[in-house]
């Protein structure tokens, strides 16, 4: 029996489609991702907490769901909007269908709507709050709910997704007799020699500690609310600032921790981590109209002149209007000239707005993990 679902936007637009996944009603910021593949990594990226995610690629679910490709312990986005659900996955790795996976995780899906019209509306008017429901199918009621639901701006969503305890990253340790080619000559690869990275987890994607480990590091994961004392007590050689959901500006606890750590150990941040590094260094943050979410965003590395094709998922950006004297822009988004990378000139600290760990997407930017490794292996100049 076909189940109806409706998506209502705060601007009064309503889309009627077919429900899949769970029953119920949710609200969230409606955004879109242009990736053709990687829907399992997108579903399990904690950075989407608080959002209803639309896929522009029309056929979703065609390779099912498997045990290896998840980027976290669950699904944190609020709802999933697609054009056409593939009911029969064709993939030897598939263990369950997308519909079964969303049901297991109590996530509402809607298919069969005009996703092109939805995306064009978001591109023109900007990301906006929406309500996705299988229980209330009255347009006026849903529009009123969308207009009265809280916006994502100003929300600290990190505390809804971050871990609450420290943990050693041990996945695959027994398979890494020696780190991969990314390993620098600096250390000889045995555990005592590996640089120890403490990754502050604001909603970290799992492929990030995998890449830190494969680049030769030992990794300890710490909650996003850790203080500088908590982090330094773990005796790190370097500090990693992870991706994460929501607006970076209310995360005062995180900004303070980073300010207290800058100059003490090398720092590398990705996405939210770069935004927090920027805030800690006195940069301003602004909200993009509809964000950058996809796996084909061109980024210019200003130092090398090379263009990297990157995976991105962010709705906020570091403003380049009034950069502090000790902050340099290292990477630029070629679609809109926004900052995709910064570094501090007075202490060993840098960050990128995009996702060099891919998962899913291109591998053009893996070099950044080696740069961080080498930064930790280079004796600090007094």
The whole-angstrom distance between residue 321's C-alpha and the CA centroid of its chain comes to 25
Whether 315 has a binding-site annotation, put simply, is yes
The CA distance from 207 to 201, in Å, is 13
Whether 213 has a binding-site annotation, put simply, is no
The CA distance from 83 to 286, in Å, is 31
Task: Give catalytic status of residue 363 as yes or no.
Answer: no
Measured from the CB of residue 120, what is the shortest distance to ligand GLN in angstroms? 21
The CA distance from 115 to 123, in Å, is 12
How far is the CA of 45 from the CAs of 49, 276, 322, in angstroms? Answer: 8, 18, 31
Tokens for 223? 């909650």
In the complex with ligand GLN, which residue's Cβ is closer, 238 or 291? 291
Task: Concatenate the DSSP letters of all residues of 88-115 into one string.
Answer: S---TT--B-HHHHHHHTT-EEEESS-H
- 62 Cβ neighbours under 8 A, 6+ residues apart: 86, 89, 90, 91
Farthest CA pair distance, the chain? 71
- Tell me which DSSP letter residue 379 carries: P
Tokens for 356? 């060099």
Measured from the CB of residue 50, what is the shortest distance to ligand GLN in angstroms? 9
Asked whether the CA dihedral 360, 156, 237, 339 is positive or negative, the reply is: positive
Catalytic residue chosen out of the listed positions 49, 187, 271, 283: 271
Q: Determine contact, residues 68/93, Cβ cutoff 8 Å.
A: yes
Catalytic residue chosen out of the listed positions 283, 292, 355, 377: 355
Whether 313 has a binding-site annotation, put simply, is yes
Task: Give catalytic status of residue 355 as yes or no.
Answer: yes
Whether 272 has a binding-site annotation, put simply, is yes
The CA distance from 330 to 376, in Å, is 19
Catalytic residue chosen out of the listed positions 29, 41, 340, 357: 357
Binding site for ligand GLN (CB under 6 A): 47, 243-246, 271-272, 313-316
Measured from the CB of residue 118, what is the shortest distance to ligand GLN in angstroms? 19
In the complex with ligand GLN, which residue's Cβ is closer, 70 or 313? 313
Within 10 A of 181 (CB to CB), how many other CB atoms are there? 8
Measured from the CB of residue 345, what is the shortest distance to ligand GLN in angstroms? 24
Tokens for 338? 């926004």
Whether 47 has a binding-site annotation, put simply, is yes
In the complex with ligand GLN, which residue's Cβ is closer, 169 or 290? 290
Q: Determine contact, residues 167/188, Cβ cutoff 8 Å.
A: no
**Total number of residues shown for the chain:** 382
Measured from the CB of residue 238, what is the shortest distance to ligand GLN in angstroms? 19
- 130 Cβ neighbours under 8 A, 6+ residues apart: 7, 8, 9, 10, 27, 28, 29, 30, 52, 146
Task: Give catalytic status of residue 283 as yes or no.
Answer: no
Measured from the CB of residue 317, what is the shortest distance to ligand GLN in angstroms? 7
- 293 Cβ neighbours under 8 A, 6+ residues apart: 31, 32, 33, 34, 35, 53, 312, 313, 314
Binding residues for L-glutamine: 47, 244, 246, 272, 275, 313, 315-316
Binding residues: 47, 244, 246, 272, 275, 313, 315-316
Tell me the catalytic residues: 271, 355, 357
């Amino acid at each position: 029996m076909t189940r109806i679902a409706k998506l209502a936007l705060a601007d009064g637009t309503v889309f009627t489609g077919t429900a899949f996944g769970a029953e119920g009603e949710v609200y969230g910021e409606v955004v879109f991702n242009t990736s053709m593949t990687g829907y399992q990594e997108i579903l399990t990226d904690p950075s989407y907490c608080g959002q209803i995610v639309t896929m522009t690629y029309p056929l979703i679910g065609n390779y099912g769901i498997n045990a290896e490709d998840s980027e976290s312990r669950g699904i944190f986005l609020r709802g999933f909007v697609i054009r056409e659900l593939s009911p029969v996955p064709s993939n030897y790795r598939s263990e369950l269908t997308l519909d079964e996976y969303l049901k297991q995780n109590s996530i509402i899906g809607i298919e069969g709507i005009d996703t092109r019209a939805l995306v064009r509306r978001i591109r023109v008017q900007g990301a906006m709050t929406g309500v996705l429901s299988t229980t209330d199918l009255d347009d006026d009621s849903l529009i009123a709910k969308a207009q009265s639901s809280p916006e994502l701006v100003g929300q600290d969503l990190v505390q809804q997704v971050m871990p609450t305890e420290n943990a050693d990253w041990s996945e695959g340790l027994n398979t890494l007799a020696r780190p991969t080619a990314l390993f620098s000559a600096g250390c000889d690869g045995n555990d005592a020699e590996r640089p120890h990275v403490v990754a502050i987890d604001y909603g970290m994607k799992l492929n990030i500690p995998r890449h830190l480990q494969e680049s030769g590091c030992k990794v300890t994961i710490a909650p996003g609310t850790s203080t500088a004392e908590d982090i330094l007590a773990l005796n790190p050689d370097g500090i990693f600032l992870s991706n994460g959901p929501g607006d970076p500006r209310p995360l005062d606890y995180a900004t303070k921790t980073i300010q207290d750590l800058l100059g003490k150990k090398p720092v590398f941040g990705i996405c939210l981590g770069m935004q927090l590094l920027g805030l800690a260094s006195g940069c301003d943050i602004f909200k993009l109209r509809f964000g950058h979410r996809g796996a084909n965003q061109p980024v210019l590395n200003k130092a090398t002149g090379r263009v990297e094709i990157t995976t991105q998922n962010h709705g906020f950006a570091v403003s380049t209007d009034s950069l502090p004297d000790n902050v340099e822009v290292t990477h630029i988004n070629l679609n809109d000239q926004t900052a995709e990378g910064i570094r501090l000139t007075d202490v060993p600290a840098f960050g990128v707005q995009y996702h060099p760990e891919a998962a899913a997407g291109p591998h053009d930017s893996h070099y950044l993990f080696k740069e961080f490794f080498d930064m930790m292996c280079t004796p600090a100049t007094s």
